[in-house]
């Protein structure tokens, strides 16, 4: 699995926060000056099951986009584009609400094992 | 009504990277509500609770818009104060952009500890939207009962044991209490019908004066159901009439959905671990009491909405 970014303060304008930081270096009142910078904090490795898209079945209704709690369905021009695997937590809701079963959930362990086996064969 | 194709083009105001549990209802509810503000400038406030704690872990914020912290008990006063300051700045000519103001609170932060703060803000008539994300217990501190917890639910402070089978009291009807403030708009909605959530949120943002929306926002941890089934579960809450969808606009009550047939409450209770004990022999009286409570409330609601007070056909 790709390593996930958990380093503090990786946002564009976010002052990096280090564990050895002096309190005087923190922003006043703990203010955060970059809206939505949580996007730079990756939660994808919470996932134990992974949603996989079946392009041929998808009718681009975007119901999955509507119901993802983690805004991890990326759409382009009103169509399903891809999963944001850096943030998707693998809750399985998208697969459950898809009216045409165009999303399947696979075990991350299984995906890793297959990936490993494929690499070993090469 | 805008289509999902159009709505998906609205800038995301609640981004991934927040630390809510996988499948948490709050993420869905918040995204739906904020999406309905379309291209407006929005200021969000939050009562302490899972949503606030998980979305603003320093130095990160999942809010892709202005956000203000408040304590557990004063989200109503905080967002009302921000709106009053905004009005003053506008009057003084120090600000020309337009803003909308919305506060989110959990059921603990809304039905219980934040109640007087909310009631005051509504009575003062601020131009705000207050959204209660009702997951029927104090989840962020480990599932304690609140006045929104349904009768029979097992929580850490209403534990189901040999003598007492879970919470003994029925829920408080907060939406009706908010309507009694005679505010321009009060509504109850459910994510199983996204069009209903969208329409109500849009209306709440559009009306002049205070608006209140109550959303059932399941917590897979506290309710103990199969996480992917969230929409099915909320659908069951609506079909069993446990969570009716209605709105009160300028004093006029309107029912938004009437189930076609009588669906017994077991359909909602059964998939959830917090009600498992109710299905043990000897606890039949609890399910009966819960059903009676629901039927009575339904009849009263129909009457208020000017509909014939009768139960759906079995
Ligand atoms: C005055 C005060 N008392 C207690 C707490 C501890 N506390 C933080 S969140 C919370 C529970 C929140 O429950 P709810 O409002 O239902 O939101 P949820 O987490 O369920 O979404 C409590 C008791 C606090 N922050 N402030
Ligand atoms: S819900 Fe299913 S069909 Fe609809 S856009 Fe998502 S994957 Fe495609
Ligand atoms: S599994 Fe859950 S978090 Fe991941 S894309 Fe689907 S709905 Fe979103
Ligand atoms: S405990 Fe419940 S309400 Fe809190 S983040 Fe987890 S699922 Fe959501
Ligand atoms: Mg709660």
Indicate the domain borders of chain B: 4-304
Which of A61, A86, A88 minimises the CB distance to B4?
Answer: A61
CA of A55 to the centre of ligand 2 (A): 9
Convert A56-76 to b/e letters by CB count within 10 Å (16 or more is b). eebebbbbbbbbbbbbbbebe
Mean pLDDT of B103-113: 98
CA dist list (Å): B194 to A20, B29, B214: 46, 9, 14
Confirm or reject: Cβ of A86 under 6 Å from ligand 3.
no
Answer yes or no: is pLDDT of A20 > 90. Answer: no
In this prediction, the answer to ipTM > 0.95 reads yes
Asked whether B68 and B98 are in contact (CB, 8 A), the reply is: no
For the cut 80, the answer to whether the pLDDT of residue A7 exceeds it is: no
Per-residue confidence band for B40, with pLDDT thresholds at 50, 70 and 90: very high
CB contact under 8 A, B5 and A62: yes
Ligand nearest to the CA of B21: 4
How confident is the model at residue A22, as a pLDDT? 79
Which residues in chain B have their CB less than 8 angstroms from residue A62's CB?
A: 4-5, 8
The yes-or-no verdict on residue B205 having pLDDT over 70 is yes
Q: How far apart are CA B91 and CA B101, in angstroms?
A: 17
Name the residue among B136, B175, B150, B171 with its Cα closest to residue B255.
B175
**What pLDDT is recorded for position A19?**
61
Residues with Cβ within 5 Å of ion ligand 5?
Answer: B 106-107, 135, 139
% helix, strand, coil for chain A, step of 5:
30, 15, 55
pLDDT at A2 over 60: no
Q: Is residue B11 within 8 Å of residue B31, measured between CB atoms?
A: no
| Mutation to test the B interface, candidates A10, A11, A30, A38, most B Cβ within 10 Å | A38
Cα B253 to ligand 2 centroid, rounded to whole Å: 36
CATH, range A42-122: 3.30.70.20
Ligand 4, atom 4, lies closest to the CA of B50
Cα distances from B202 to residues B100, B141, B168, B272, in angstroms, run 11, 32, 37, 32
Q: How far is CA B215 from CA A69, B71, B135, B223, B226, in A?
A: 15, 21, 9, 16, 20
- Say if residues B240 and B264 touch (Cβ distance below 8 Å): yes
**Could you give the 3-state DSSP secondary structure of residue A75?**
strand
Per residue in B112-126, pLDDT (tens digit) is 999 999 999 999 999
Give me the percent of chain B exceeding a pLDDT of 70.
Answer: 100
Angle in degrees, 0-180, between the axes of helices B75-91 and B115-124, rounded to the nearest 10: 30
Q: What integer is the mean pLDDT of B281-292?
A: 97
Region A12-27: mean pLDDT is: 66
Name the average pLDDT for chain A: 87
d(C-alpha A41, C-alpha B56), whole Å = 12
Pocket residue to mutate for ligand 1, from B49, B69, B113, B137, most atoms within 8 A of Cβ: B49
pLDDT of residue B314: 93
Section B74-86 average pLDDT: 98
CB B269 within 8 A of CB B278: yes
- Residues with Cβ within 8 Å of residue A55, at least 6 apart in sequence: A102
At A46 the pLDDT is 93
B282 burial (CB, 10 Å; 0-12 / 13-18 / 19+) is exposed
The pLDDT of residue A28: 83
What residue ranges do the domains of chain A occupy? 1-41, 42-122
CA–CA distance, B85 with B88 (Å, rounded to integer): 5
Contact yes or no for B188/B244 (Cβ under 8 A): yes
Q: Note whether B41 contacts A: Cβ–Cβ < 8 A.
A: no
- Let me know: does A69 contact B28? Beta carbons within 8 Å: yes
pLDDT averaged over every residue in chain B: 97
For B182, other C-beta atoms within 10 Å of its C-beta total 12
Report whether pLDDT(B11) > 60: yes
**Residue B66 in this model has a pLDDT that exceeds 80:** yes
CA of residue B162 relative to chain centroid, distance: 32
Structure tokens at A95: 């697969």
Between CA B58 and CA A88 the distance in angstroms is 21
pLDDT above 50: residue B140 = yes
Bridging pattern class, strands B99-106 and B41-46? parallel
The SS3 assignment for A25 reads helix
The model's pLDDT over A53-112, given as tens digits with 9 standing for 90+, comes to 999 999 999 999 999 999 999 999 999 999 999 999 999 999 999 999 999 999 999 999
Instruction: Please state which architecture CATH assigns to domain B4-304.
Output: 3-Layer(aba) Sandwich (3.40)
Q: Residue A12 above 50 pLDDT?
A: no
pLDDT given at position A18 = 61
Establish whether the linkage from the previous residue to B59 is cis, with ω within 30° of 0: yes
CB A5 within 8 A of CB A41: yes
Q: How far is CA A26 from the centre of its chain?
A: 28
To which residue do tokens 């291209």 refer?
A: B39
| pLDDT reading at A42 higher than 80 | yes
Q: What is the largest CA-CA distance in chain A?
A: 56
Question: pLDDT tens digits for B234-262?
Answer: 999 999 999 999 999 999 999 999 999 99
Please classify residue A119 by burial: count the beta carbons closer than 10 Å to its beta carbon, then call 0-12 exposed, 13-18 middle and 19+ buried. Answer: exposed
Pairwise CA distance, residues B179 & B176, whole Å: 5
Angle between helices B25-35 and B194-206 (to 10 degrees): 50
Cα–Cα distance for residue pair A79/A72, rounded to 1 Å: 14
State the pLDDT at residue A6.
Answer: 53
Q: For residue B299, what pLDDT is reported?
A: 98
């Amino acid at each position: 699995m790709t390593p996930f970014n958990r380093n503090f303060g990786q946002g564009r304008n976010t002052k990096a926060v280090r564990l050895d930081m002096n309190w005087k270096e923190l922003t006043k009142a703990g203010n955060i000056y970059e809206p939505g910078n949580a996007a730079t904090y990756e939660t994808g490795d919470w996932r134990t099951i992974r949603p996989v898209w079946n392009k041929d079945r998808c009718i681009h209704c975007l119901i999955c986009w509507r119901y993802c709690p983690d805004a991890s369905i990326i759409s382009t021009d009103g169509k399903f584009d891809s999963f944001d695997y850096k943030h998707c937590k693998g809750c399985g809701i998208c697969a459950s609400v898809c009216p045409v079963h165009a999303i399947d959930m696979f075990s991350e362990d299984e995906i890793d094992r297959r990936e490993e086996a494929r690499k070993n064969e090469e | 009504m805008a289509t999902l194709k159009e709505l998906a083009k609205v800038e995301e105001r609640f981004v991934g990277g927040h630390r809510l549990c996988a499948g948490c209802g709050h993420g869905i509810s918040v995204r739906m509500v904020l999406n309905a503000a379309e291209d407006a400038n929005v200021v969000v406030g939050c009562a302490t609770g899972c949503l606030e704690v998980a979305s603003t872990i320093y130095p990160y914020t999942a809010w892709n818009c202005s956000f203000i912290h408040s304590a557990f008990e004063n989200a109503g006063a905080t967002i009302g104060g921000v709106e009053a300051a905004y009005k003053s700045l506008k009057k003084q000519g120090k600000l020309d952009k337009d803003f909308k103001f919305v506060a989110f609170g959990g059921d603990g932060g809304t039905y219980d500890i934040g109640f007087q703060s909310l009631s005051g803000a509504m009575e003062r008539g601020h131009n705000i939207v207050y959204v209660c994300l009702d997951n029927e217990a104090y989840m962020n501190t480990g599932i304690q009962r609140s006045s929104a917890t349904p009768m029979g639910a097992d929580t850490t402070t209403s534990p189901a044991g040999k003598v007492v089978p879970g919470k003994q009291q029925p829920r408080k009807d907060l939406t009706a209490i908010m309507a009694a403030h005679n505010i321009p708009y009060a509504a109850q909605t459910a994510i199983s019908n996204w069009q209903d959530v969208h329409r109500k949120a849009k209306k709440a943002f559009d009306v002049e004066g205070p608006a209140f929306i109550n959303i059932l926002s399941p917590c897979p941890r506290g309710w103990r159901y199969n996480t992917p089934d969230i929409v099915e579960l909320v659908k069951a809450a609506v079909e069993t009439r446990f969570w009716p969808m209605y709105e009160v606009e300028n004093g006029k009550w309107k029912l938004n959905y009437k189930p076609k047939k009588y669906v017994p409450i077991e359909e909602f209770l059964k998939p959830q671990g917090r009600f498992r004990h109710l299905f043990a022999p000897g606890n039949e009286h609890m399910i009966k009491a819960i059903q009676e409570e629901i039927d009575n409330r339904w009849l009263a609601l129909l009457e208020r909405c000017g509909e014939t007070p009768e139960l759906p056909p079995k």
